[in-house]
């Protein structure tokens, strides 16, 4: 399902006809029904370009499928062993990483208010270093949530960029 990035409403397939020529496009349902008052910036997507973006994403997935498959199998093995590896649970690492991300965001907000505060900068460096250490530690078996999150973000950007050009 194709969903509008601005308002979260699904897109709908529409046929535009002008000067005897028909063009298939996808539009935000809210934009169609309520106009620009409700959904201001939703793009109109040509169906041909949308198809090309989907095919490109599927081809890219096909190219890395072996790597993803190996990673998923390794995650399944970790799940079967309850995520225990080197005495540290994968779930605990993920929870700590999430907590550090929240702490990092708070520190960045504080630093933006007081750029000269060396203590805040030192704390941010320590949090960032700990986050990197966790990603390295959990990435050591070739795959983890860091790899998966990165792959998912990359695929989203690829699909978005190819549908916007």
CB 141 within 8 A of CB 78: yes
Q: Given its phi and psi angles, is residue 44 left (phi above 0), alpha (psi -120 to 50 degrees) or beta?
A: beta
What does the mean pLDDT of the chain come to?
76
What distance separates the 2 farthest-apart alpha carbons in the chain? 70
Is 3 in contact with 10 (CB distance < 8 Å)?
A: yes
- What is the reported pLDDT for 89? 66
Q: Is the pLDDT of residue 60 over 50?
A: yes
pLDDT digits (tens, 9 = 90+) for 87-111: 566 677 778 888 888 888 888 888 8
Segment 121-160, tens digit of pLDDT: 888 888 888 888 877 766 544 334 444 444 444 444 544 4
- Of the CA atoms within 13 Å of residue 9, those in its CB half-sphere come to 18
Most trustworthy range by pLDDT among 27-31, 38-42, 140-144: 27-31
If pLDDT is split at 50, 70 and 90, which confidence band does 13 have? very high
Q: Is residue 162 within 8 Å of 155, Cβ to Cβ? A: no
């Amino acid at each position: 399902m194709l969903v509008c990035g601005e308002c979260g409403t699904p897109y709908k397939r529409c046929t535009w006809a002008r000067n005897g020529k028909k063009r298939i496009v996808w539009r935000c349902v809210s934009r169609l029904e309520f106009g620009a008052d409700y959904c201001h910036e939703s793009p109109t997507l040509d169906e041909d370009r949308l198809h090309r973006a989907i095919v490109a994403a599927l081809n890219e997935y096909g190219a890395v499928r072996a790597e993803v498959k190996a990673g998923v199998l390794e995650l399944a093995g970790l799940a079967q062993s309850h995520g225990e590896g080197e005495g540290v649970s994968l779930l605990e690492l993920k929870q700590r990483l999430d907590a550090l991300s929240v702490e990092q965001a708070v520190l960045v907000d504080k630093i933006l208010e007081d750029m000269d505060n060396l203590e805040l900068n030192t704390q941010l460096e320590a949090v960032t270093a700990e986050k990197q250490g966790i990603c390295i530690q959990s990435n050591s078996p070739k795959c983890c949530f860091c790899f998966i999150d990165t792959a998912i973000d990359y695929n989203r950007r690829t699909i978005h960029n190819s549908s916007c050009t």
